Amino acid sequence: MTLALDEARAAAAAGETPVGAVILDPATGEVLARAGNRPIGAHDPTAHAEIAAMRIAAARLENYRLTDLTLVVTLEPCAMCAGAISHARIGRVVFGAEDPKGGAVVHGPKFFAQPTCHWRPEVTGGVMAEESADLLRGFFRERRKK
């Protein structure tokens, strides 16, 4: 999660919402991908940290299936990201802060619990949640001042 928080801080420094993601191979401990949010800079509404990290890992592995890998992200994934996680067949998702407004794993549609969801990763939430939430709160507090 520390690496994901580093990516979130880098995203914030670039003016993006501070969310960071890392994809790990739990069998080897290797970090396959790191990314921060970048929809503004990339002019791409799908450029969430999770999507960017999955794209990097898939290109690196030359496989769109990321089975048995772990995605670590600082914020509960939204519905778009949860759908991509399911399609990529990520084995485990670890997230930091919960997102009652936009989250889709433990909030909102609870994507992985839906009967139409074809792949359900193991999910662990609340890892370094306070640090992740503080980063988001601070970012938006500063934005409101402007």
- CA distances (Å), 50 to each of 21, 81, 118, 122, in order? 6, 6, 19, 16
What is the β-pairing status of strands 70-75 and 92-97?
A: parallel
Q: Is 81 labelled as part of a ligand binding site?
A: yes
Share of the chain above pLDDT 70, in %: 99
Confidence (pLDDT) at 44: 98
Q: Is 78 labelled as part of a ligand binding site?
A: yes
Confidence (pLDDT) at 145: 83
Whether 140 has a pLDDT exceeding 90, the answer reads: yes
- Give me the active site residues, please: 50
Confidence (pLDDT) at 34: 98
Taking the model in full, what pTM does it have?
0.96
Q: What are phi and psi of 71, to 5 degrees?
A: -105, 125
Q: Is 87 labelled as part of a ligand binding site?
A: no
